[in-house]
Structure 1
Amino acid sequence: MASIPQLEFTNKDAIPDIVNGVRSTFHTQKTKPLEFRLVQLRKLYWGMIDNQKAIAAACKQDLGKGHFEANLMELDFCTQTIIYCCNNLEKWAKDETAKDIPFANKLLFPKIRKEPLGCVLIIGPYNFPVNLLIAPLAGAIAAGCTVVLKPSENAPNVAVVLQKVIEGYLDPSCYRVIQGAIPETTALLEQKWDKIFYTGGATVGTIIAKKAAETLTPVTLELGGRNPAIITKNADIRLAARRLLWGKIVNAGQVCVSQNYTLVDKEVLDRFVAEMKTAMKEYYPNGTRNTDDFGRIINDRQWQRLKKMVDESKGKLLMGGEMDESDRYIEPTIIQVDSQTDSLLVDESFGPLMPILPVNNLDEAIRIANEVHETPLGLYPFGNKKETDRCLREIRSGGASVNDGFMHGSLPTMPFGGVGDSGQGAYRGQASFDCFTHRRSITSTPSWLEGMMSVRYPPYTGKLEKMRSMGNLKPNFDRDGNVKFSLVSYVLSLGAGSKTGGLIRYVLVLLAALGLRQYLG
Structure 2
Amino acid sequence: MIYLKMDDLPPFTHTSVDSIPAVHARVTAKFHSHTTRPIEYRLKQLRALYWGIKDEEPALYEALKLDLGKSSYESYLAEISWVLNDIIFMSKNLERFMKDEKAEDTALTNLPLRPRIRKDPLGAVLVIGAYNFPIQLSLGPFIGAISAGCTAVLKPSENAPNAARIMQHIISNSLDPEGYQVVQGAIPETTALLALKWDKIFYTGNAAVGTIIAKKAAETLTPVVLELGGRNPAIVTKNADPRLAARRLLWAKLHNAGQVCVSQNYIIIDRQILGAFLLQIEAALKEFQPKGAEGNSDYSKIINERQWLRLKKMLDSTRGKVLLGGKTDQASLLFETTVVQVNDHDDPLLTDESFGPLIPILPVDDLDAAIRAANEIHATPLGIYPFGTKAETDKILNQTRSGGASVNDGFFHASIPTLEFGGVGDSGTGSYRGRASFECFSHRRAVTTTPGWMEGLLSVRYPPYTDAKFKRFKGMSETKPGFDRNGKTTGGWLWWVLGLGGKTTKGAGLRYAVLIALVAVVRGMGKGRL
TM-score range, shorter chain: over 0.9
Displacement of 1:6? 5.9
CA contact (8 A) 1:94 1:113 kept: yes
CA distance in 1, matches of 2:295, 2:153: 39
CA contact (8 A) 1:104 1:513 kept: no
CA distance in 1, matches of 2:369, 2:499: 45
State the match for 1:43 in structure 2. 48
CA distance in 2, matches of 1:55, 1:492: 66
> Which of 476, 483, 496 is residue 477 of structure 1 equivalent to?
483
CA distance in 1, matches of 2:517, 2:230: 53
> Which of 112, 116, 131 is residue 117 of structure 2 equivalent to?
112
Letter in 1 for 2:478: N
State the match for 2:436 in structure 1. 431
State the match for 1:195 in structure 2. 200
CA distance in 2, matches of 1:150, 1:486: 54
CA distance in 2, matches of 1:97, 1:9: 47
CA distance in 2, matches of 1:451, 1:270: 79
> Which of 327, 332, 346 is residue 341 of structure 1 equivalent to?
346
CA distance in 1, matches of 2:344, 2:329: 28
Displacement of 1:485? 6.1
Alpha-carbon distance change, 208 to 483 in structure 1, aligned in 2, over 3 angstroms: same
Alpha-carbon distance change, 490 to 132 in structure 1, aligned in 2, over 3 angstroms: farther
Displacement of 1:478? 2.9
Displacement of 1:481? 3.0
> Which of 154, 163, 170 is residue 168 of structure 2 equivalent to?
163
SS in 2 for 1:326: coil
Q: Does residue 316 of structure 2 align to residue 308 of structure 1? A: no
CA contact (8 A) 1:235 1:383 kept: yes
Q: Does residue 35 of structure 2 align to residue 67 of structure 1? A: no
SS in 2 for 1:470: helix
More deviation in 108-117 or 429-438?
A: 108-117
CA distance in 2, matches of 1:510, 1:329: 77
Displacement of 1:449? 1.2
State the match for 1:488 in structure 2. 494
Gap runs ≥5 in structure 1: 495-503, 515-521
CA distance in 1, matches of 2:161, 2:146: 24
CA distance in 2, matches of 1:205, 1:124: 12
CA contact (8 A) 1:198 1:205 kept: yes
SS in 2 for 1:22: helix
CA distance in 2, matches of 1:509, 1:119: 51
> Which of 82, 89, 97 is residue 92 of structure 1 equivalent to?
97
Displacement of 1:376? 0.2
SS in 2 for 1:238: helix
State the match for 1:21 in structure 2. 26
CA contact (8 A) 1:103 1:471 kept: no
CA contact (8 A) 1:120 1:193 kept: yes
Displacement of 1:320? 0.3
State the match for 1:185 in structure 2. 190
What's the TM-score once normalised by structure 1's chain length? 0.93
Q: Does residue 248 of structure 2 align to residue 243 of structure 1? A: yes
Number of residue-to-residue matches in the alignment: 504
Displacement of 1:509? 9.1
1:176-197 deviations in whole A, cap 9, x for unaligned? 0000000100000000000000
CA distance in 1, matches of 2:304, 2:378: 27
CA contact (8 A) 2:102 2:117 kept: yes
CA distance in 2, matches of 1:491, 1:116: 43
Displacement of 1:491? 7.9
Displacement of 1:467? 1.3
CA contact (8 A) 1:318 1:335 kept: yes
What is the CA RMSD across the aligned residues, in angstroms?
2.2
Q: Does residue 222 of structure 2 align to residue 217 of structure 1? A: yes
CA distance in 1, matches of 2:125, 2:362: 43
SS in 1 for 2:418: coil
Q: Does residue 331 of structure 2 align to residue 320 of structure 1? A: no
SS in 2 for 1:221: strand
State the match for 1:232 in structure 2. 237
SS in 2 for 1:147: strand
CA distance in 2, matches of 1:387, 1:490: 45
> Which of 116, 130, 154 is residue 159 of structure 2 equivalent to?
154
CA distance in 1, matches of 2:71, 2:354: 21
CA contact (8 A) 1:417 1:424 kept: yes
CA distance in 1, matches of 2:160, 2:498: 60
State the match for 2:506 in structure 1. none
State the match for 1:254 in structure 2. 259
What's the TM-score once normalised by structure 2's chain length? 0.92
CA distance in 2, matches of 1:326, 1:509: 83
State the match for 2:146 in structure 1. 141
Letter in 2 for 1:22: V
Displacement of 1:45? 0.3
CA distance in 2, matches of 1:310, 1:451: 77
Displacement of 1:508? 3.8
1:328-348 deviations in whole A, cap 9, x for unaligned? 110010000001100100110
> Which of 121, 130, 134 is residue 125 of structure 1 equivalent to?
130
CA contact (8 A) 2:481 2:492 kept: no
Q: Which runs of 4+ in 1 moved over 2 A?
A: 2-7, 476-494, 507-514
State the match for 1:283 in structure 2. 288
